[in-house]
Every structure is written in C-alpha cells, then in structure tokens.
Amino acid sequence: MSLIQLNRLLRHIEQLGTIGQMPDGGVSRLSFTDAEHEANQFVQMLMQQAGMETSIDPIGNIIGTYCKDRSISHEAPIIMGSHIDTVPNGGKYDGALGVLTAIEVIQTFHENDITLARPIQVIAFKDEEGVRFGVGMLGSRAVAGTLTAPMLEAVDAQGITVAQAMEKQHLQPANIHLAKIDSIYAYLELHIEQGRVLETENLPVGVVTGIAGPLWLEVTIHGLAEHAGATPMQLRQDALAGAAEMMVAIERIANGIDGTVATVGKIVVENAGVNVIPGQVTFTCDLRHVIQESRDLAEHEIKKAICTIATKRHLYSCVKELQRVKPVTTDAAIMQTIHQAMEKCGYDAFYLSSGAGHDAMQFAHHCPIGMIFVRSKDGVSHNPLEYSSPADIKAGAQVLFETILAL
Ligand code: GLV
Ligand code: MN
Ligand code: MN
C-alpha cells in the first residue's frame, strides 16, 4: 500500500500551475520575475507544511531541510532537487513535478514518523531553463560550485544582468560562493521524460543513465542594410538569407551525426523593415549529444559551415558561446538503487538517457547523482500540452520514496 497522498500531490501541481498561467493554459515563470517569486513563496509554504525548515540561499534557491533527529544534523544530506522556473508558455510539469514530488515524499516521512539516517534537503533551484539570460542551471551551479563570475554578468533582452536581477529580489551576488554545499551524500532528481521513449515502451517510469550536454551558441551575421528595391540580387550582402542557409546547414549536419540534436530557437533581425535588406541578424543554436566527441564533431562542422557560407556571401560572422555543459552519466550504484525501488513498487526497471538538460548535471562531478523519469504524454514538453497522468505520477513518487529510504 502506498503512503504517498496522490490527490494532495496532484492538487499542488494544479495550484503551482496557476502561478504565471497564460490565457491558453500555458505557464510563463521566467527567472527573477514576480510570477517566479510567487511560485517560490508557494513552494516554501509547502515545504514548511511538510515538516521542513526552510531557507533561501544567496542565489535565491528555496531550500527545505528535513532532519527530525538533531543528532544526525552534521551528516552529509541527500538532496532532492529540480526547478520551478519555466520557458515562455511552457507546461505545468517540467521541473515542478520533481520539486512537488520531493516535497510529497518528505511530507509522507513526516506524517508517518519515518526516521532517516541523514538529513534530506529539497531544493527548488533558481533559473534552470536559462531562457532569460542565455545561461541556465544558475541555482544548481551555485550549490555545486560551478557558477562562475561572468555568468552573473549575462544580460537579458532588456540589458539587465543576472546580478542586477538578483539585487532586485534582495539576493546577494557578492555572496554567491556561500551557496555551495560542500558535502552531499547523493543528489536525486525526478523529472518528466520530455520524450517518447517510455510511452513507446508503455512504461510509467524509467531509470536515467546519462544526460546530453547542451552547448548554446549565439551567431551574429553582419551584412549590409540596403534598399530592397534598388539593390540588384547579385550585389547584396543579405544577413538573413545567409543565416537561413546556415540554419539549413545546421539541420543537415545534425541529421548526419547519429544522436545529435541541433535547434535554432531564436532569431533577431536588427532594424527589420519590409523594404530593407537585413544588415544584421543574430540567431541561437542549441546543440546536444550524450557523447562528448560526437557533439565536438557537430560543433566543428557547424562552425565550419557558418564560416564557409559567410565568406561565399561576403558576410561577416561572429560566434559567441552562451553556455557549454558536458554530457554526464549517472551513478551506477544509484541506478541500481532506483532499479530495485522500481521492482519493489511493481514496475519494470527500464534504462534510458535524457535529451533534455537537468540541474542534476551540475552535481555529476560533485556527488553521486541519480534521476527518475516519469512518462510524458506524446513526449511533449516546453509546451502548454505537457502532461503526465496521475497513475504515472504516483509511480514516480513511490519510486522516489523507496529510493530515498533505500539510500
Ligand atoms: C531545459 O529544459 C533544457 O534542457 O534546455
Ligand atoms: Mn526541466
Ligand atoms: Mn525545461
């Protein structure tokens, strides 16, 4: 019999999903915004109800600590984490499910007077998505000690830096080093799969083996803004036509290296006008692979193609690196623990890798990490239609509960 209270967990998912809700049902909670702040307050209140002591660290992570037995408070904690920021018009489950399920697991320990051998912390990490500043996992980087000073100087579309956004929320950029947690026994993250593998296998949950590393580039193409009517085709230096050819090349290169995914998700045409030949264009490229060497190869091919196309079209190209995260593997012993927890709960233990990035990545070289995936309907994510069924959420929560007990 499960001790997890599924209805309470589902209610919390719906409640959190109303914060930052868009007219079509999507959720927009970009980092350091009012919606994100309200979500943080809601989650902090849930942590307290679940028997945790809460705190906010210098970057703005919400931390709940569950340690009933004071004599073990010095032991290295197990951390269960994920994020509650979203992409623009995203879904209710990406990140939120991991945080809320972790809180439900703790509440279950609390209500059933379950004594644990070490403190457990739940962390709702700041800005995992990276949409606003072009660099993600800010909160988990701070806790794992991988946040660098230049990351605090990254700017959003309005020219506001991470440090300035932090100050607006009364956080302390100068104290960021204090967010690091030196000794962590294990890091666990439950997340929606955001892909179609579990659905294809007809399974509710899976054990994550590794996570593809995102490399984010920002490509700026300089051409010449000229009159659209008066400039003959062969004399143009059209930055947008050049960028278009580069995008097709990026797609072709990704198609040619098995397992590679590459996405141009954002494009800005400077001083755009219907009768103006585009003089400057900036676009992003998100490139991922679970194998480092394959991503390196794709990166090399993409940069070469950008140069070749720019030269041919008399354009000037500049590639800036926004973030580079190495692919990681999860810990073999924790995978085994999750495997056994799945079997104990009556589910097949199926292994799969993650195409999406997760806060867990930041801890891969700091402590043993493990991840549990919950089936996503139609594999859809970063979309208001994102959905995981109550039965699958229950399966994930039971497995997380048993995994923590076993650890
Ligand atoms: C986060 O969702 C990412 O993988 O970009
Ligand atoms: Mn996520
Ligand atoms: Mn996401």
For residue 268, the enclosing domain spans 213-324
Site to probe by mutation for ligand 1, drawn from 83, 126, 127, 129 as the one with most ligand atoms within 8 Å of Cβ, is 129
Tens-place pLDDT, residues 44-69: 999 999 999 999 999 999 999 999 88
Do 96 and 77 sit in the same domain of this protein?
yes
Do 251 and 296 sit in the same domain of this protein?
yes
Site to probe by mutation for ligand 1, drawn from 382, 383, 386 as the one with most ligand atoms within 8 Å of Cβ, is 382
Does the CA dihedral 260-144-366-404 come out positive or negative? negative
The residue among 324, 341, 367 that closes a domain is: 324
pLDDT of residue 387: 98
Tens-place pLDDT, residues 167-188: 999 999 999 999 999 999 999 9
**Count of domains for the chain:** 2
Question: How far is ligand 3, taken at its centre, from the CA of residue 343, in Å?
Answer: 28
Tens-place pLDDT, residues 287-334: 999 999 999 999 999 999 999 999 999 999 999 999 999 999 999 999
pLDDT of residue 32: 97
What CATH number does residue 295 fall under? 3.30.70.360
Ligand nearest to the CA of 96: 2
The verdict on the CB of residue 261 being under 6 Å from ligand 1 is: no
Nearest Cα to 19, choosing from 105, 112, 96?
A: 96
pLDDT of residue 115: 87
Question: How far is ligand 2, taken at its centre, from the CA of residue 3, in Å?
Answer: 26
Do 270 and 168 sit in the same domain of this protein?
no
Domain assignment present for residue 184? The answer is yes
* 323 vs 307: CA distance, rounded Å: 21
The atom number, within ligand 1, closest to the CA of 288 reads: 4
* 328 vs 286: CA distance, rounded Å: 17
pLDDT over 70 (residue 36): yes
Residue owning the nearest CA to atom 3 of ligand 1: 357
The residue among 279, 305, 324 that closes a domain is: 324
Instruction: Give 127's pLDDT tier (boundaries 50, 70, 90).
Output: very high
Do 256 and 291 sit in the same domain of this protein?
yes
pTM: 0.95
The residue among 324, 346, 361 that closes a domain is: 324
Ligand nearest to the CA of 84: 2
* 357 vs 128: CA distance, rounded Å: 9
Based on C-alpha coordinates, what's the Rg of the chain? 22
pLDDT of residue 377: 98
Give the mean pLDDT of 77-88: 98
What CATH number does residue 201 fall under? 3.40.630.10
Domain assignment present for residue 298? The answer is yes
Question: How far is ligand 1, taken at its centre, from the CA of residue 353, in Å?
Answer: 14
Do 217 and 74 sit in the same domain of this protein?
no
The verdict on the CB of residue 85 being under 6 Å from ligand 1 is: no
Do 120 and 67 sit in the same domain of this protein?
yes
Do 85 and 15 sit in the same domain of this protein?
yes
pLDDT over 80 (residue 1): no
Question: How far is ligand 3, taken at its centre, from the CA of residue 333, in Å?
Answer: 27
Do 240 and 311 sit in the same domain of this protein?
yes
Tens-place pLDDT, residues 93-118: 999 999 999 999 999 999 999 989 99
Do 43 and 191 sit in the same domain of this protein?
yes
pLDDT over 80 (residue 27): yes
Do 259 and 233 sit in the same domain of this protein?
yes
Tens-place pLDDT, residues 269-284: 999 999 999 999 999 9
Do 63 and 188 sit in the same domain of this protein?
yes
Domain assignment present for residue 1? The answer is no
Do 246 and 260 sit in the same domain of this protein?
yes
The atom number, within ligand 1, closest to the CA of 130 reads: 5
Tens-place pLDDT, residues 128-181: 999 999 999 999 999 999 999 999 999 999 999 999 999 999 999 999 999 999
User: Which phi-psi region, left, alpha or beta, contains residue 402 (left: φ > 0; alpha: ψ -120 to 50)?
Assistant: alpha
Domain assignment present for residue 376? The answer is yes
The atom number, within ligand 1, closest to the CA of 356 reads: 4
Instruction: Give 350's pLDDT tier (boundaries 50, 70, 90).
Output: very high
3-class SS string, 93-160: CCCHHHHHHHHHHHHHHHHCCCCCCCCEEEEEECCCCCCCCCCCCHHHHHHHCCCCHHHHHCECCCCC
The verdict on the CB of residue 129 being under 6 Å from ligand 1 is: yes
CA dist list (Å): 394 to 191, 273, 406: 13, 52, 18
Give the mean pLDDT of 75-81: 97
Site to probe by mutation for ligand 1, drawn from 358, 361, 381, 383 as the one with most ligand atoms within 8 Å of Cβ, is 358
Instruction: Give 82's pLDDT tier (boundaries 50, 70, 90).
Output: very high
